[in-house]
Chains A and B, each alone.
Chain A
């Protein structure tokens, strides 16, 4: 029998435990103490309780940085995973506060609890190197997100989007489980490092290729890479805005991290080569194909969108393509990938926030509904300017440096193998400027429709949007603040 130190487990999993306890407290308090409280106050109290819980978990990680490895990779805590978990929690806090002015539901207890539980799933996902925990954590996070996407009780399109998300998600989870079982069968272990050791050299047997492809299908769905992206436009457009923002930001950050981990740790040595004429099967050619498809499809389809949230969805698919470049950069690309995914998370979250405000005011989030936003809400318009330019990758903003480091990491790997893909990515990011500027043209050039009365916007979402914009600007001007700690061994 293997001796287990339960205290060790508790110490390593303390941040997750704090958030989980917070979720249960939220459910309990909502049920026992807040039933008779008026909705607005109830929402505020629960959201603050949730945000404080996430804050407490971040504070715990900062105060007691316990590092270690529990039970051969079941739970592996390193400084990098701590930072990624911190990013997930920060995005969760912003999502919670972003819901401050929303009115899509009356069941705030369940909403906050599910958001916290999905954060717990994402945190376990980040810090495990065991196939079993990775799969279960992925399902925990996904299941909570499906429900969050369906939270708009009165809107049939929210339910439809959630159903699509759920069906796609369960099928791809099936694929992934199939691939993981093959990996286990081939290597006899569920620990990523032992799998890498058992699989050994660059020889790729067909069964391993199947395992690789099915795992890529499962995680490709989570990161919304083409051709597994079909759910994203509907969910981004129809789910309640804060839920969509969380799906687009925190879930993406954690999923990219776990994809990078599974491939570079669990299948290290099976990279292969994606060069014309000198092709070697492995996961780099696989990801290169996914990245090229995402870059092309995401950017080209975004051009014709008339709905801003749908446009952000297609741009998210394109950004998945950029981020896949970071995974192909191997271990050296990991800090660049995490930096990009984090700043991208803040940017999309802010953009969803602005879209949600416009929707509350004008009644829709089509491009034309943004007309003249700069005259009605100069600050919100400026924040949207920051987000859009950062997504397009314009210099002093975080998006530019994110892309720069990703491309550099992809080129540094092995003698310019991926040059063709980087050139494609740079070309496509020039294309993307077109549709981001379309949004800004509506905001700054087109005159506002007459008859819209000025009304105060709720202060919580406004603060969140300004905070997100500030983060994007600060991390853009001083990328080393984050990159240095991420790259630290």
Chain B
């Protein structure tokens, strides 16, 4: 019961904060958006806790709410975003956006209406650190290794593209 209540609380907060990231009626400042993104991440971590995925929740806070957001803010400060603050919403953007969102909403609602919700049992979750670690080094070893190569490429690219003249 408490878990259900907490779920609705976290889910609602995630949605509200997520909405405020992209369309804040009170402020067009990118830093405010970034701050709401932090809140979204934190509430998402709460959802992970409710799913017993404690490791993921910790990672969510450490990596996303921590490291990634610092990077975001850093980039925002480096870029000159005055133009962004002055920008007005365009009719074309709003119409196409609303049409796309409406279409997707229609499909999802359609599916929800067809699907017998709550009929299935709650699946057993493997969210503990130990289970995750074992999976990473057995079943998901290959994707794990390929991701490390991916990070290497990102690093080379960032250094190469951002440095003006390197030897």
Contacts and interface: CB of A to CB of B under 8 A. Distances in A.
Nearest to B131: A1
Given A2-B139, A9-B142, A210-B107, 13 more contacts: A4-B139, A20-B149, A71-B141, A107-B160, A107-B166, A110-B160, A113-B156, A114-B156, A132-B143, A133-B143, A140-B149, A140-B150, A143-B153
B167 interface: yes
B5 interface: no
A278 interface: no
B111 A206 contact: yes
| 4 A-B pairs with the lowest CB-CB distances in the bound complex, closest first | A147-B157, A207-B111, A4-B138, A140-B150
B114 A147 contact: no
A143 B138 CA distance: 26
Contacts of B167: 35
Interface in B117-161: 134, 137-143, 146-147, 149-150, 152-154, 156-157, 160-161
Contacts, number: 85
Interface string A1-27: 111101001000100000010000001
Interface string A99-114: 0000000010010011
Interface string A124-144: 100010101100110110011
A89 interface: no
A108 to B, nearest CB: 12
Interface of B: 104, 107-108, 110-111, 114, 134, 137-143, 146-147, 149-150, 152-154, 156-157, 160-161, 166-167
Contacts of B111: 205-207
B110 A136 contact: no
Contacts of B150: 121, 136, 139-140, 143
A250 B139 CA distance: 29
B142 A144 contact: no
A438 B166 CA distance: 43
A75 interface: yes
B142 A133 contact: yes
A130 B146 CA distance: 13
A389 interface: no
Interface residues of A, number: 41
29 contacts: A2-B138, A2-B139, A3-B138, A4-B137, A4-B139, A4-B141, A27-B156, A74-B143, A107-B166, A110-B156, A110-B160, A114-B156, A114-B157, A117-B152, A117-B153, A121-B149, A132-B140, A133-B143, A133-B146, A136-B143, A136-B147, A140-B146, A143-B154, A144-B153, A147-B156, A147-B157, A206-B114, A207-B111, A209-B107
A9 B149 CA distance: 16
SS class, residues of chain B in contact with chain A? helix
Interface centre among B104, B160, B166 (most CB of A within 10 A): B160
A373 interface: no
Contact of A120 (B149, B161, B166): B149
B153 A210 contact: no
Nearest to A178: B104
Contacts of B154: 143
A74 B142 contact: yes
A388 to B, nearest CB: 34
Contacts of A147: 153, 156-157, 160-161
Contact of A207 (B108, B138, B161): B108
Interface of A: 1-4, 6, 9, 13, 20, 27, 35, 70-71, 74-75, 107, 110, 113-114, 117-118, 120-121, 124, 128, 130, 132-133, 136-137, 139-140, 143-144, 146-147, 150, 205-207, 209-210
A113 B156 CA distance: 9
Nearest to B164: A153
Nearest to B144: A136
A331 B38 CA distance: 47
A367 to B, nearest CB: 32
B142 A143 contact: no
A137 B160 contact: no
Nearest to A118: B153
B149 A117 contact: yes
A318 to B, nearest CB: 27
A1 B111 CA distance: 36
A1 B152 CA distance: 30
Nearest to A207: B111
Contacts of A110: 156, 160
Interface centre among B111, B140, B142, B150 (most CB of A within 10 A): B142
A207 B112 CA distance: 9
A1 B138 contact: yes
